[in-house]
Structure 1
């Protein structure tokens, strides 16, 4: 087999290519995303109409919400964003086991007592709860076994209010599989017919830490987003992986993650919380090298609207920081090895820090200015525009 480079002009969006992909999504391109949270959920759900081969590298460093309780109890990676992406890519037809989908999407009530919540969990373990009773065997046995493992391991003071059942099932599977996430992700990907690949960037219990411009040290992803605590008062100067005390940790990716990145047909750094969702995935050792070796287009899609983590940063600053994190992975990596395009909507997009397109172009990165924002008052990037553009670039 001979490999060679080609250069071609691409129409964006390429409607003819999209029509072909829609007819046979099983043979669609391998678009790889470094993400976390919910910003890419709608785009992921739309992608399955065109490709069943997208790859989603998810940050497991979330330290807020339902995931935080499980992390604290079991010293484990966060599973909430993984569950979210599995559900976005799941086949919601009868072939995809909608009963499993409904169970994973369910949360225990906030208003009930701990006694009532533990009773509901026990009913699920025994297969008596309506959400579990309707699942066919052997899937029901798998769910019950994982929930039983979780139930047996729960600390007495564990707060079940608002707990995601999907998170509890994944956590139980993690404990049942000798504290490995890949086997349980693989199992449930098959159960709900996930049309794509979802993997945490590393299978480790680590925290996200940041040094701010005013010298403050922030440990914990949830303290950076402004969702559960006050917004940052000073810009983030440095982001790194740490233990619970804020001490830096040098964490490499596994060879199979490196191979997954290397095999991508397009790499996207998508919209979302810039530091805690996008850059967080790029911090483990080996990510930058794997990205630089991947012979495919590499695209950054900056968020529109306010991102509290981007205090003091324009889009050009974000491009530089993105490149710096990836290039720091190994000597000799250039910006042109890890980033080629930046997608913006100059006419409709809201970029609070500004764009500075001239500076981006001076860095050797091509700016693609195209419609990304939907109709109405929302500043969010519309999946109806973004998915066809990314597929046309692949």
Structure 2
């Protein structure tokens, strides 16, 4: 019996002892109030106190009883405050990561992020990860709907061996949305070298694959478990859990099979489609679109990262039906083998042809013309800056917003921090019907 009692007091979260202290404080508070107010049901205790006082002082003095009651109240309040503070502090230490800054800053940051707009981002590849890194610092209500048509590299090998959806883009989004990108995130990105069977595989891809097999081929449960491990802000949802093969019909009528082969065909793309046609969508993806305050497509490869999501049954229809702000983030440079010679208007035409005229209402384009050695390196691969004609875009029913989206190094790619700031400003502006030219002035003035 004694062992059990001391085990109850043994160190753990240290909550029981502080709850006991709080309870003692409540008892003292009740006793003190009762003594001061001369409650009849405490007559026995009062008699005891008065008898002790009489034996000590030689007279019955009720003032002493009231004084004892007052002291009990003070002690009770102190015990309650101390117990409450200790319990709260213990719980916070157990929940909040040890490497966090001030506890108050962490709590208020989570409250602020939790009140952010519901944003759904649709796409795949590195462009989607770049955007998510910028947005996660501004809202926790993020949902990434990710293409699963990748069939190259590590993802392609695992997909073929285990008959599962491609894990690569899902893994990239999980890492991008991680609360703090530390050791676990580096581990998820680690790619094995050498010449063995593991050569070229990403640890994150292998982890997701193994977890999916352990959980009876349930990719949703695997993503949920991985999100907890990485402390992900938001959700990562595959557009579909079917094994999809992306196909492309080229302008000359030839058919190219496989997402990884399409950019290397060396021919203009006429359209893309999937086998099987109209794959079944994830219900959570459709629900997220319906509940969104803003829906964002891109940035990323137009035909192999963004379009595959629109080929999933009902996704394009739900986007069109949504009353949310619908934004397309155009690439800074054209992509060889996919968008050679494309202007921003060509991007919009391709999206509207696939998903309908009301698929997007706003396009975000970079307004800083990229220059320097890094741009020349891109040009050597056949990539050129995407040209923007606002009048042509307006004729397509799309408003244009220009902003500086590259980092200070001048590399012709989106900077995650700048992109996140600009996108959030646009989302808030569209919700309040601010005119695009006023928003552009604001963005330039604040030097995004």
Within 5 Å, give how 1:137-286 maps onto structure 2: 159-225=197-263, 231-242=264-275, 248-286=276-314
TM-score by length of 1: 0.73
- Residues 299-343 of structure 1, C-alpha deviations (whole Å, 9 max, x = no match): 11111123121124322121011112112xxxxxxx2x3211111
| Conservation of the 8 A alpha-carbon contact between 2:114 and 2:139 | yes
Q: Residue 200 of structure 2 aligns to a residue in which SS? A: coil
Is 1:74 paired with 2:162? yes
Corresponding residue of 1:147: none
Q: Residue 40 of structure 1 aligns to a residue in which SS? A: helix
* CA–CA separation in structure 2 for the residues paired with 1:40 and 1:214: 31
Q: Deviation at 1:355?
A: 2.6
Higher relative contact order (CA 8 A, sep 6+): 1
Deviates more, 1:212-221 or 1:365-374: 365-374
| Conservation of the 8 A alpha-carbon contact between 1:268 and 1:300 | yes
Distance 1:33 1:349, change over 3 A: farther
Is 1:90 paired with 2:178? yes
Unpaired segments ≥5 residues, structure 1: 1-19, 115-158, 226-230, 243-247, 328-334
Q: Residue 225 of structure 2 aligns to a residue in which SS? A: helix
Corresponding residue of 1:344: 365
* CA–CA separation in structure 1 for the residues paired with 2:341 and 2:161: 36
TM-score by length of 2: 0.65
* CA–CA separation in structure 1 for the residues paired with 2:187 and 2:129: 18
1:33 pairs with one of 121, 129, 150: 121
2:140 pairs with one of 26, 47, 52: 52
- Residues 144-198 of structure 1, C-alpha deviations (whole Å, 9 max, x = no match): xxxxxxxxxxxxxxx3212111111111122222322101000110121100110
| Conservation of the 8 A alpha-carbon contact between 1:53 and 1:195 | yes
Q: CA RMSD in A?
A: 2.1
Q: Rg: which structure is higher? A: 2
Is 1:294 paired with 2:322? yes
Q: Deviation at 1:374?
A: 2.5
Q: Residue 271 of structure 1 aligns to a residue in which SS? A: coil
Equivalenced residue count is 307
Higher helix share: 2
* CA–CA separation in structure 2 for the residues paired with 1:168 and 1:177: 14
| Conservation of the 8 A alpha-carbon contact between 1:34 and 1:269 | yes
